[in-house]
């Protein structure tokens, strides 16, 4: 049992003994003592005075004495109004450092026996990835890693949107204007080549619409009847009928895109355990529609379309199958949800998808519950905010997107420029240098995106480069490298016997306390699916370490005991930083 729980338990007993009242756990408010006061934990006694019928000061005094008598680690306390500040012994904190914090598994939880699928990325195969996808990928990857650390077995899944009218647009456009261009012949990355034809389609299509409007059609008619869109639709029908020529073209172009995506994923350091392809799953879900019709959850309208009435739940009536028997988006998603469960018997299933689809997932999960699926309770939409530019939303067709590959490249070259300016690694081989630039560049990018709460929209200004100083990934990486440098010079290893110093310096004690909270932060990040919580913690830890580093000399400490103690503290800080950053998908360099 940790000290917080112990304090809570004993407080309950104190209130019972002293005031003959039963206090539930959530009636007790225990928090970290604020920096400006003496103590480590603070019990807020305001809620207790209605039982004690005494002043906050006196109540605090009585409970303080009780706690001090009962818990060895509490050596002192002070009271300011309704705040009882508890002071723990230096023995307690040193013990924490020697045991829990030094444990290589500090921060990691035992396996909880639960299996969870986390779907992220899920790109369309008609254009390259952009900054919005980067956020999705980094978020998905990091949440998956955090959940593993929290004890889950995690299956990372990617549901590739590889079919549909938008894919046919690129295909048709390439066929008409491509002149046999390939990634090899053009030197273009496959996904970019395909994206080029997607944009070209839109351009030509708009031209046709304009032409039709000027010859007297309404805009709506023009959009519907333009020859290009007609042709794309007929291509989609051919694809669905397994027309060999269309399928061949589809295979070839998707192959280009996959090769391109694989490169981007590799650069981002994300991976997947299971790929689902919409071309395999788009017909799923129809049996579920049948099932729902039989059980009366769904109903049929005169035109044969199938609906569900969700007005009692504050939502609308929702179409789940078209009148002609073809699927809509949600039909497939119903089927795919079932497939995921059938494949892996997962306890929980998380979808990392932007908040523009909040309504869709609300409906999807509600329908599955109404259908009585036992696993529906374990579904969760991890909804994240859009990445906006100062000019507003990114739009691929208007060319206002921040391309993923370009941005990554830019981050690496900026990292290179900064590093060369500082000139600290001139003795590195060119391979080592490349690796370092990559780590720092990606570290800056990843941290920039992950430090913001997923739910919030994120502003990215392409004209202002992402920082490498202050609250950033490189700052944390630098802290790690700095510690590493000291450790290397010292010859310290984990086995070195460390004795408790007679007095702790303020920054030393602060550091131990903060390190002690690492597991708590992992837990919070896992429960809230929020890498931001962890990211901000690692920053606080790094900042605190730098303060300590600046205030106290390590290698030239007063004596050998203190030196070893500080080395130990440095070592575990470095390990904690590295573990935490790993969960964000960021590597820390040994030198920079």
Chain positions 44 to 103 lying near RNA, rule: CB under 7 A, are 44, 46-47, 80-83, 85
Q: Are 228 and 204 in contact (CB under 8 A)?
A: yes
3-state secondary structure of 377: helix
- Residue 181: CB minimum distance to RNA, A: 27
- Residue 84: CB minimum distance to RNA, A: 8
Q: Where are the beta strands (DSSP E) in 390-450?
A: 392-393
Q: Compute the C-alpha angle 360/114/291, nearest 5°.
A: 45
Q: At what angle do helices 227-240 and 165-177 cross, to 10 degrees?
A: 110
- Residue 451: CB minimum distance to RNA, A: 6
Q: Are 83 and 42 in contact (CB under 8 A)?
A: yes
- Residue 83: CB minimum distance to RNA, A: 4
**Position among 12, 182, 234, 355 found at the interface with RNA (CB under 7 A):** 355
Dist CA 51 CA 59 (whole Å):
10
- Residue 328: CB minimum distance to RNA, A: 4
Interface characters, 540-579, with RNA (x: CB under 7 A): ---x--xx-xxxxxxxx-----------------------
Residues whose CB is less than 8 angstroms from the CB of residue 489 and which lie 6 or more positions away in sequence, other chains included = 555
Residue 37 or 271: the one with the smaller Cβ distance to RNA is 37
Dist CA 453 CA 50 (whole Å):
38
**Site size with RNA, rule: CB under 7 A:** 96
Residue 37 or 299: the one with the smaller Cβ distance to RNA is 37
470 binds RNA (CB under 7 A): yes
Dist CA 583 CA 561 (whole Å):
33
Residue 188 or 401: the one with the smaller Cβ distance to RNA is 401
Phi, psi of 305 (to 5 degrees): -70, 150
267 binds RNA (CB under 7 A): no
**Position among 21, 252, 259, 459 found at the interface with RNA (CB under 7 A):** 459
Residues in the chain: 592
Site for RNA in 23-42 (CB under 7 A): 26, 29-34, 36-37, 39, 42
3-state secondary structure of 38: coil
Site for RNA in 306-335 (CB under 7 A): 314, 316-319, 322-324, 327-329, 332
Residue 274 or 591: the one with the smaller Cβ distance to RNA is 591
- Residue 374: CB minimum distance to RNA, A: 26
Dist CA 304 CA 325 (whole Å):
8
**Position among 175, 524, 561, 582 found at the interface with RNA (CB under 7 A):** 524
**Position among 287, 358, 398, 558 found at the interface with RNA (CB under 7 A):** 358
- Residue 538: CB minimum distance to RNA, A: 12
3-state secondary structure of 181: coil
468 binds RNA (CB under 7 A): yes
**393, burial (CB in 10 Å: exposed 0-12, middle 13-18, buried 19+):** middle
356 binds RNA (CB under 7 A): yes
Residue 83 or 250: the one with the smaller Cβ distance to RNA is 83
299 binds RNA (CB under 7 A): no
- Residue 340: CB minimum distance to RNA, A: 16
Dist CA 258 CA 161 (whole Å):
12
Residue 16 or 81: the one with the smaller Cβ distance to RNA is 81
- Residue 215: CB minimum distance to RNA, A: 25
Site for RNA in 129-168 (CB under 7 A): 161, 164-165
Please state whether beta strands 115-119 and 348-354 pair in parallel, antiparallel, or not at all (unpaired): parallel
478 binds RNA (CB under 7 A): yes
Buried/exposed 431-452: b ≥16 CB within 10 Å, e otherwise: eebeebbbbbbbbbbbbbbbbb
Site for RNA in 368-397 (CB under 7 A): 385-386, 392-393
214, 550, 156, 97: which is closest to 349 by C-alpha?
156
Region from 99-107, 126-134, 373-381, 415-423 binding RNA, contact rule CB under 7 A: 415-423
509 binds RNA (CB under 7 A): no
Residue 177 or 428: the one with the smaller Cβ distance to RNA is 428
Residues whose CB is less than 8 angstroms from the CB of residue 515 and which lie 6 or more positions away in sequence, other chains included = 97, 101, 541, 572, 573, 576
Q: How many CA atoms lie within 13 A of 96 on its CB side?
A: 22
- Residue 214: CB minimum distance to RNA, A: 26
Residue 63 or 154: the one with the smaller Cβ distance to RNA is 63
- Residue 495: CB minimum distance to RNA, A: 21
Residue 65 or 184: the one with the smaller Cβ distance to RNA is 65
Residue 73 or 327: the one with the smaller Cβ distance to RNA is 327
If phi > 0 it is left, if psi is from -120 to 50 it is alpha, else beta; for residue 553 that is: beta
Dist CA 310 CA 293 (whole Å):
15
Site for RNA in 214-253 (CB under 7 A): none
Positive or negative, the CA dihedral 248, 253, 256, 261 is negative
Residue 241 or 422: the one with the smaller Cβ distance to RNA is 422
Q: Are 167 and 195 in contact (CB under 8 A)?
A: no
Region from 89-97, 132-140, 232-240, 467-475 binding RNA, contact rule CB under 7 A: 467-475
Residue 89 or 305: the one with the smaller Cβ distance to RNA is 305
- Residue 535: CB minimum distance to RNA, A: 9
């Amino acid at each position: 049992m940790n000290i917080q729980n112990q304090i809570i338990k004993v407080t309950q007993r104190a209130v019972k003994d002293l005031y003959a009242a039963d206090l539930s756990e959530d009636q007790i408010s225990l928090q970290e003592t604020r920096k400006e006061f003496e103590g480590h934990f603070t019990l807020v006694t305001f809620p207790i005075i209605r039982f004690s019928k005494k002043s906050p000061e006196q109540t605090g005094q009585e409970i303080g004495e009780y706690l001090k008598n009962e818990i060895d680690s509490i050596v002192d306390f002070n009271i300011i109004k309704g705040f009882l500040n508890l002071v723990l012994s230096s023995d307690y904190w040193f013990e924490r450092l020697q045991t829990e914090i030094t444990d290589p598994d500090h921060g990691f939880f035992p396996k909880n026996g639960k299996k969870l699928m986390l779907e992220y990325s899920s790109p369309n195969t008609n254009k390259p990835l952009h900054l919005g996808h980067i956020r999705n990928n980094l978020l998905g990857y990091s949440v998956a890693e955090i959940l593993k650390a929290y004890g889950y077995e995690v299956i990372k899944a990617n549901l590739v949107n590889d079919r549909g009218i938008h894919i046919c647009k690129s295909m048709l456009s390439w066929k008409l204007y491509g002149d046999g261009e390939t990634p090899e012949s053009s030197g273009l990355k496959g996904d970019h080549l395909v994206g080029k034809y997607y944009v070209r389609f839109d351009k030509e299509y708009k031209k046709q619409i304009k032409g039709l409007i000027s010859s007297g059609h309404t805009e709506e008619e023009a959009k519907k009847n333009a020859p290009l869109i007609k042709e794309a639709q007929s291509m989609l029908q051919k694809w669905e009928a397994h027309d060999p020529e269309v399928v061949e073209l589809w295979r070839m172009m998707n192959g280009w895109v996959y090769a391109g995506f694989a490169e981007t994923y590799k650069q981002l350091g994300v991976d997947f355990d299971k790929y689902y392809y919409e071309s395999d799953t788009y017909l799923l879900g129809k049996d579920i529609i049948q099932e729902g019709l039989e059980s009366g959850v769904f109903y049929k309208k005169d035109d044969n379309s199938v609906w569900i009435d969700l007005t009692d739940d504050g939502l609308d009536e929702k179409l789940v199958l078209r009148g002609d028997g073809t699927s809509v988006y949600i039909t497939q998603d119903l089927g795919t949800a079932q497939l995921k469960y059938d494949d892996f018997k997962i306890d929980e299933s998380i979808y990392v998808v932007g908040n523009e689809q909040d309504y869709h997932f609300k409906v999807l999960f509600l329908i599955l519950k109404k259908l009585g699926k036992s696993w529906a309770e374990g579904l969760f939409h991890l909804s994240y905010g859009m990445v906006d530019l100062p000019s507003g939303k990114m739009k691929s067709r208007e060319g206002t997107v921040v391309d993923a590959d370009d941005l990554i490249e830019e981050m690496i070259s900026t990292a290179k420029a900064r590093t060369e300016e500082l000139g600290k690694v001139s003795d590195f081989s060119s391979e080592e240098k490349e690796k370092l630039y990559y780590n720092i560049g990606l570290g800056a990018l990843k941290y920039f995106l992950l430090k913001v709460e997923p739910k919030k929209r994120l502003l990215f200004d392409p004209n202002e480069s992402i920082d490498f100083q202050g609250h950033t990934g490189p700052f944390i990486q630098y802290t790690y490298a700095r510690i590493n440098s000291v450790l290397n010079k010292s010859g310290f290893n984990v086995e070195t016997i460390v004795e408790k110093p007679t007095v702790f310096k303020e920054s030393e004690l602060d550091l131990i306390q903060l390190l002690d909270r690492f597991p708590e932060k992992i837990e919070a990040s896992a429960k809230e699916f929020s890498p931001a919580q962890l990211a901000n913690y690692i920053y606080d830890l790094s900042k605190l370490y730098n303060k300590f580093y600046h205030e106290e000399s390590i290698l030239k400490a007063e004596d050998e005991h203190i030196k070893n103690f500080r080395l130990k503290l440095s070592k575990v800080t470095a390990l904690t930083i590295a573990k935490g950053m790993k969960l964000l998908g960021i590597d820390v360099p040994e030198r920079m």
